[in-house]
Structure 1
Amino acid sequence: MAARIFQRSKNAMQSGKATAGEWILQFESHRAHTPDPLTGWSGGGDTQSQVTLSFPTEEAARAYAERNAIPYHLVPASERKLKLQSYADNFK
């Protein structure tokens, strides 16, 4: 089962950056999600796709995947874009 390795982004609902630097290894689902006939919620029987492992660095996540023979693809980290402006810029 393939996995993807990506860097967790900052939570948009909070200003803190506590888990923003972590690298995540997440298994991909190979089955389609089907709606439940009773509730209408989408779900699947693949419990492996619910597994999420966190690592402090990209190299640690790659080493884990290679050590356990897990095929993976790496999603490169995106650059943060800072928009620096002052309060006076609102009145230009």
Structure 2
Amino acid sequence: MFAKIYRPAKNAMQSGRGKLNTWLLEFTPSMARRPDPLMGWTSTKDTKTQVRLKFDNKDDAIAYAKRQGIPFQVSEPQQAKRYVKSYADNFSADRKQPWSH
């Protein structure tokens, strides 16, 4: 039973950054998923993969994993590069590519 502690990335459909400060503890699957012979759906008998614990910060998640004796790996989030742009730059004379319709 190995756990992964990480902060989830923003969904591509979101523009805001709400609910991004939570950290998750998820268990990695111990067995592979197999198709069900009757319906063909993928399934597993490992129910720990369905558990997702939410924490307010990384330290709480690490403390919980240590207290429960769960081996874990922490994945630090990558910060997005912010490009400062101005709408007026679209019409500047120093533009690298000519602007036209």
Compute the TM-score of the two structures, normalised by the length of structure 2.
0.80
**Greater C-alpha radius of gyration:** 2
Aligned to 1:20: 20
Query: 1:48 & 1:86 partners in 2: Cα distance?
Result: 48
Query: 2:41 & 2:51 partners in 1: Cα distance?
Result: 20
Q: Which runs of 4+ in 1 moved over 6 A?
A: none
Q: What amino acid is the match of 1:50?
A: Q
Query: 1:84 & 1:37 partners in 2: Cα distance?
Result: 54
Aligned to 2:48: 48
Query: 1:81 & 1:39 partners in 2: Cα distance?
Result: 45
Structure 1 position 13, deviation (Å): 1.2
Q: 1:88–1:30: structure 2 CA closer, same or farther, 3 Å change rule?
A: same
Aligned to 2:37: 37
What is the RMSD of the two structures over their aligned residues, measured on CA atoms? 1.6
Query: 1:88 & 1:14 partners in 2: Cα distance?
Result: 26
Unpaired segments ≥5 residues, structure 2: 96-101
The size of the alignment, in residue pairs, is: 92
Q: What amino acid is the match of 2:14?
A: Q
Aligned to 1:63: 63
Q: 1:37–1:58: structure 2 CA closer, same or farther, 3 Å change rule?
A: same
Query: 2:32 & 2:43 partners in 1: Cα distance?
Result: 9
Matched-pair contact (CA < 8 Å) for 1:6–1:24: yes
Describe the SS at the equivalent of 1:29: coil
